[in-house]
A and B are shown apart, each in its own frame.
Chain A
Amino acid sequence: EVQLVESGGGLVKPGGSLRLSCAASGFIFSSYSMNWVRQAPGKGLEWVSSMTGSSGYIYYADSVKGRFTISRDNAKNSVNLQMNNLRAEDTAVYYCARGGSTHDYWGQGTLVTVSS
């Protein structure tokens, strides 16, 4: 059974940092691109970042470029999102999702709140 479990969310002050992690199981992790998608309270979904299975290609939304860094450890079946210089508008539930185009499996999400 495919499982994605996010962790690392919490309350952080503007300008602060957080590191999100997603632990994957139930599939050959290195064969899949992995993504972070977020959803601000009461809003729609917003793709944040993607990384291909071999880590050869990395993509970011313009809204996070230069502040967020995606990484993965295929030996540990995990993907991470280092978030620096956080802003109020980064407040959202962050989901880890599998798949380079459509996202066929999602984690339950982790809430990031940026507030003073």
Chain B
Amino acid sequence: EIVLTQSPGTLSLSPGERATLSCRASQSVSNNYLAWYQQKPGQAPRLLIYGASSRATGIPDRFSGSGSGTDFTLTISRLEPEDFAVYSCQQYDRSPYTFGQGTKLEIK
């Protein structure tokens, strides 16, 4: 199975700053079948990005995804207070569709 490793485990930033989150795959993810989810405490995950770089419906344009092959990045251009959460990547290239362990974005 494809193992996804996210880094850093925790990222401490202030509102207004830029956040860069990494997701590395143990094997190449074909067709950029890589998604990003946001999850706040006590809530279900929310789809942010699919196809590595396409924003899901209703997602603000401060969220952007990039990358290909084995290295993918989620960037939040200017952090808003509501952006502090856990972010997880998921590959849907090959079954089982695995998730990364998550990056916690916390307020500095």
Contact = CB atoms under 8 A, between A and B. Distances in A.
Q: Specify whether A and B are partners.
A: yes
A61 B96 contact: yes
B interface bracket (residues with beta carbon within 8 Å of A): 20 to 34
Interface string B37-60: 100000111110010000011000
Interface residues of A, number: 17
A109 B98 CA distance: 19
A45 interface: yes
A47 B35 CA distance: 14
A47 B99 contact: yes
B14 interface: no
A109 B92 contact: no
A68 interface: no
Interface string A96-116: 000001111011110000000
B99 A102 contact: no
Contact of A45 (B43, B57, B88): B88
Contacts of A109: 44
B64 interface: no
Contacts of A95: 44-45
A46 interface: yes
Which of B33, B97, B99 has the most chain A CB atoms closer than 10 A to its own CB?
B97
B96 A102 contact: no
